[in-house]
């Protein structure tokens, strides 16, 4: 099995997965309306014939899977992820939503080997492709699993969400901007594909790009009820990458923001906003015979 080098320095899978699960669920709750807009748009682009089978690649806790099952009433979904804990959470949520019989989960490390999956009409990859060690290979596999004429939706964050005003009333102004600069540096080492140009990756893999759409999210008060917890979970995750990358003063301010029950903590603040951009590319596997002879599933590289 391949070692997945970019995970080497992370805490043990269990705790990291639990924190990740909480963050993904909060993300789904707080950004619900944009997700709904996005699935409506993809549904429109998918057109005929009706979408029967969907693959959610790097499904996490099922944010995309569940939204897609709701949008595509006649479809079943395969949710694929490396994490058994996240897939368990996904199955629990599917049961609560009454769609358990329409979801199958597949646990696999896509950096190692791809499981055999029957052809699908739609592949959804939300914030997951940048985790792959070899995106070109991942896209070749996606191409092979899509029926000719099928669609791939790639959703990637332009940057992590921002929550804080420049002036917090504590510490030096501009803390969050410095956080993001330090995070970008950390991710440059751990996740070099974050912020990649997926359009050209997709073209090189043989897809036709149908559309590219940046979803610009800017929520101002009154925020959804879970906004404070979402900010806290996001900033905590950021904090775990920032040791030694920011000044002691900045880290102390950040700790106060994420730990405090007092008025300075993000759970209590009334000056939060949520700003982030998620860009979506919708690409089609051409319907005609492919010039790249992927039909046998054999990859040339």
Ligand X SMILES: C[S@@+](CC[C@H](N)C(=O)[O-])C[C@H]1O[C@@H](n2cnc3c(N)ncnc32)[C@H](O)[C@@H]1O
Residue 86 contacts ligand X per CB under 6 A: yes
Interface with ligand X, residue 102, by CB under 6 A:
no
| Residue 193 near ligand X by CB under 6 A | no
* Residue 56 CB, nearest approach to ligand X (Å): 7
Q: In this structure, are residues 123 and 280 in contact, taking their beta carbons and an 8 Å threshold? A: no
Is 83 a binding residue for ligand X by CB under 6 A? The answer is: yes
Closer to ligand X at the Cβ: 127 or 193?
127
Question: Residue from 16, 109, 134, 210 that binds ligand X (CB under 6 A)?
Answer: 109
Quote the least distance from Cβ 301 to ligand X, whole Å. 18
- DSSP-derived 3-state class of residue 265: coil
With respect to ligand X, which residue has the nearer C-beta, 156 or 176?
Answer: 156
User: Which of these ranges, 78-86, 163-171, 173-181, 245-253, lies near ligand X under the rule CB under 6 A?
Assistant: 78-86
For the bound state, the minimum distance from the C-beta of residue 5 to ligand X, rounded and expressed in Å, comes to: 11
Helices (H), the chain: 13-30, 32-46, 63-71, 84-96, 135-145, 175-190, 198-204, 227-239, 248-259
Among 105-113, 168-176, 205-213, 241-249, the segment contacting ligand X (CB under 6 A): 105-113
Binding part of the chain for ligand X, among 59-67, 144-152, 213-221, 242-250 by CB under 6 A, reads 59-67
Instruction: Using CB atoms within 10 Å of the CB of residue 31, give its burial: 0 to 12 exposed, 13 to 18 middle, 19+ buried.
Output: buried
Q: Does 234 bind ligand X (CB under 6 A)?
A: no
**Is 131 near ligand X (CB under 6 A)?**
yes
- Using the rule CB under 6 A, which residue among 54, 69, 81, 162 binds ligand X? 81
Structure tokens at 69: 């099952």
Among 158, 181, 161, 129, residue whose Cα is nearest residue 235 = 161
* Among positions 39, 51, 128, 280, the unique one binding ligand X when judged by CB under 6 A: 128
**Residue 193 corresponds to which tokens in the numbers above?**
């594909």
Q: Is 60 in the site for ligand X (CB under 6 A)?
A: yes
Query: Which of these ranges, 60-68, 172-180, 204-212, 271-279, lies near ligand X under the rule CB under 6 A?
Result: 60-68
CB of 147 to ligand X, least distance (A): 22
For position 63 contacting ligand X by CB under 6 A, the verdict is yes
**Residues 6+ positions from 137 with CB-CB distance below 8 Å:** 299, 301
Residue 145 burial (CB count, 10 A): 23
Contacts of the segment 14-22: beta carbons below 8 A, 24+ positions apart: 14/85, 17/83, 17/85, 17/86, 18/85, 19/233, 19/236, 19/237, 20/60, 20/83, 20/86, 20/237, 21/60, 21/61, 21/85, 21/86, 21/89, 22/233
Which pair of structure tokens corresponds to residue 58? 């790097």
Give residues in contact with ligand X (CB under 6 A).
Answer: 4, 24, 58-60, 63-64, 81-83, 86, 109-111, 126-128, 131
């Amino acid at each position: 099995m391949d070692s997945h080098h970019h995970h080497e320095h992370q805490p043990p899978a269990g705790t990291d997965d639990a924190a990740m699960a909480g963050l993904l669920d909060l993300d789904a709750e707080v950004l619900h309306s944009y997700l709904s807009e996005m699935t409506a748009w993809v549904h429109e682009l998918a057109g005929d014939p009706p979408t029967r089978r969907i693959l959610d690649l790097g499904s996490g806790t099922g944010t995309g899977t569940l939204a897609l099952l709701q949008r595509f009433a006649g479809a079943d979904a395969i949710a694929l992820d490396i994490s058994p804990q996240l897939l368990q959470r996904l199955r629990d949520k599917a049961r609560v939503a009454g769609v358990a019989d329409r979801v199958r989960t597949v646990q696999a490390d896509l950096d190692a080997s791809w499981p055999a999956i029957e052809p699908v009409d739609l592949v959804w990859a939300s914030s997951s492709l940048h985790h792959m060690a070899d995106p070109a290979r991942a896209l070749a596999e996606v191409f092979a699993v899509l029926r000719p004429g099928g669609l791939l939706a790639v959703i990637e964050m332009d940057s992590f969400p921002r929550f804080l005003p420049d002036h917090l009333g504590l510490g030096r102004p501009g803390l969050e901007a410095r956080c993001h600069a330090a995070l970008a540096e950390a991710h440059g080492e751990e996740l070099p594909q974050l912020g990649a140009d997926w359009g050209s990756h997709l073209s090189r893999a043989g897809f036709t790009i149908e559309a590219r759409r940046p979803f610009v999210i800017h929520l101002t008060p009154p925020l959804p009820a879970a906004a404070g917890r979402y900010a806290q979970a996001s900033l905590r995750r950021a904090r775990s990458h920032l040791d030694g990358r920011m000044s002691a003063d900045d880290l102390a301010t950040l700790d106060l923001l994420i730990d405090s029950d007092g008025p300075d903590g993000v759970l209590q603040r009334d000056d939060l906003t949520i700003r982030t951009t998620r860009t979506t590319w919708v690409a089609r596997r051409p319907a005609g015979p492919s010039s790249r002879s992927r039909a046998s599933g054999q990859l040339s590289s």
